Amino acid sequence: MAKRPVPDIVVGRLPIYLRELNYLVEERKFITSSQELADRLGFSSAQIRKDLSFFGEFGKQGAGYETLFLRDKLSEILKADRVWDIVLVGAGYLGHALASYGGFLGRGFRIAAIFDNDPDKIGRPIGGLVVQDSRELPQAIQDNGWQIAILAVPAAAAQEIADTLVASGIRAILNYAPRILNVPPGVRIQYIDPVIDLQHMTYYL
Amino acid sequence: MAKRPVPDIVVGRLPIYLRELNYLVEERKFITSSQELADRLGFSSAQIRKDLSFFGEFGKQGAGYETLFLRDKLSEILKADRVWDIVLVGAGYLGHALASYGGFLGRGFRIAAIFDNDPDKIGRPIGGLVVQDSRELPQAIQDNGWQIAILAVPAAAAQEIADTLVASGIRAILNYAPRILNVPPGVRIQYIDPVIDLQHMTYYL
């Protein structure tokens, strides 16, 4: 898709642009500009233009961007134009919260299965799913071809489970456990770390 | 602290540098370089040097950065060198998960109180705290001078609660609800949105 290698930090901003474009479309604003996007996001308009330029010419000089067109293009680039199955590991409080999270809907993801190693949790329904035994995880990943996992387990268990996930074919992990994980090259990992966002705000207090 | 206005996007990267410096210190690496930080974080070394230059001269030409010194400076800049009380609104599954989250420890934050409007939840213990009635929220915020809140409530309730929080004196909100909130100028808001991180990874799949 891209004409030249795209820095990961640029890739990381594309979903933020996509989300904002979806808001613009919801607001029935069908034309936008790098300046408007910049104002809404707190980025610079030069950065937005530079980021988008990796992927081609999306706007006409002086005419701005068509929000629907740019949204569809970004969606395609991020492969958000399909529905990805996610395997959720951890059926504790966080797992419950994620299983019923409304934010996945219409944005390219669905929780396909939930696993836990706690006999008290296995077999119980969460949302529309039944918690499965973690021991069945490797086989289930292989059988279903799942590539994405969310880790919602205690920090002490996270690395061992990540190893199992990766060995079974998972290639992208979203980790909620407060612990840095080692994964082999070629496997992507992202961290949900609320402290990063909190410290971003305390700077201003 | 800063010599010139710091773009918000730069401020947002400082906590990521701080976290990495803490890891380096834990690994007993007491000298680092913008290149090493760049390699570990996937940023460019030029960007790291430029970001840090907003706040002064932290390294000696050719000698790199002292990790302990830089960590302490960033901690001070981000006001992470103290412990901030957080008021948590929402005692559902996510609230439970956050109340026992191990990632706040030693990083400048603690959950000071939990509120909910559900009579079944009010009065119940979560971690070491007892869930309080949301109706007492305004008074408690004023009495305690709390400035930071975490919103772990359903999307439909989030805006109304945010309005109450802001009217009572909250100046920074970390919002887990999948909904954009309107807050007045001068109030900071950050969103935990797992889809942003998931789409960052699907780009590579």
CA–CA–CA angle B130, B135, B141 (5° rounding)? 75
Nearest to A180 among B23, B198, B199 (CB): B23
Q: What is the pTM of this model?
A: 0.91
Residue A3 binned pLDDT confidence (cut-offs 50, 70, 90)? low
pLDDT of A4 reads: 77
> Residue B151 corresponds to which tokens in the numbers above?
């919103």
Interchain proximity B19–A108, CB inside 8 Å: no
Which positions in chain A touch B188 (Cβ < 8 Å)?
Answer: 200-201, 204-205
Q: Across chain A, what does the average pLDDT equal?
A: 93
Give pLDDT tens digits for A84-109.
Answer: 999 999 999 999 999 999 899 889 99
Does pLDDT of B63 surpass 80?
no
How many whole angstroms separate alpha carbon A83 and alpha carbon A64? 30
**Would you state the pLDDT for residue B4?**
77
Contact A100, B97 (CB under 8 A): no
Q: What is the structure's pLDDT at A2?
A: 59
pLDDT tens digit sequence for B23-62: 999 999 999 999 999 988 888 899 899 999 999 877 776 7
Q: For residues A85 and A144, is the Cβ–Cβ distance under 8 A?
A: yes
Residue A54 has pLDDT above 70, yes or no: yes
For the residues of B56-115, what is the DSSP string, one character each? ---EETTTEEEHHHHHHHHHHHTT-SS-EEEEEE--SHHHHHHHT-GGGTTTTEEEEEEE
> What single letter denotes the amino acid at residue B160?
E
Q: Is the predicted pLDDT of residue B1 greater than 70, yes or no?
A: no
pLDDT at B153 over 70: yes
Interchain contact, A194 vs B12, CB within 8 Å: no
User: Regarding the domain delimited by A84-195, which CATH topology (the fold level of the hierarchy) does it fall under?
Assistant: Rossmann fold (3.40.50)
Between strands B125-126 and B84-89, the pairing is unpaired
Domain ranges of chain A: 8-76, 84-195
Disruptive mutation site among B18, B175, B203, B205 for chain A (greatest number of A CBs within 10 Å): B203
Question: Which of A172, A178, A193 has the CB atom closest to B201's CB atom?
Answer: A172
Residue B198 has pLDDT above 70, yes or no: yes
Q: What is the pLDDT of residue B14?
A: 96
Residue in B closest to A84 by C-alpha: B202
Handedness of CA A23, A27, A33, A35 (dihedral sign): negative
The CATH architecture to which B8-77 belongs is Orthogonal Bundle (1.10)
First to last CA, chain B: 42
The pLDDT-based confidence of B3 (bands split at 50, 70, 90) is low
Q: What is the pLDDT of residue A44?
A: 86
Complex ipTM: 0.95
Nearest to B197 among A152, A190, A204 (CB): A190
- B148 to A23: CB separation less than 8 angstroms, yes or no: no
pLDDT tens, position by position, A155-199: 999 999 999 999 999 999 999 998 889 999 999 999 999 999 999
Chain A contact set for B107 (CB, 8 A): 195, 199
pLDDT of residue B99: 95
Q: What is the mean pLDDT of residues A114-133?
A: 96
In the structure, what pLDDT confidence band is assigned to residue A63 with cuts at 50, 70 and 90? Answer: confident
What residues in A contact B103, CB-CB < 8 Å?
155, 178, 193-195
What's the confidence (pLDDT) of residue A99?
Answer: 95
Length reported for chain B: 205
Do the chains contact at B194 and A192, CB–CB below 8 Å?
A: yes
Range in A5-9, B67-71, B174-178 the model is least confident about: A5-9
The CATH code of the domain at A8-76 is 1.10.10.10
Give A56's pLDDT tier (boundaries 50, 70, 90).
confident
Burial of A167 (0-12, 13-18, 19+ CB in 10 A): exposed
Q: Least CB-CB distance to A93: which of B15, B93, B180?
A: B93
Q: One-letter amino acid identity for A22?
A: N
Nearest CA in chain B to A103: B178
Q: d(Cα B83, Cα B88) in Å, to the nearest integer?
A: 15
Rounded to 5°, the CA angle A141-A172-A71 comes to 115
SS3 B140: helix
A30-44, A70-84, B80-94: range with lowest mean pLDDT: A30-44
φ, ψ at A121 (rounded to 5°): -95, -30
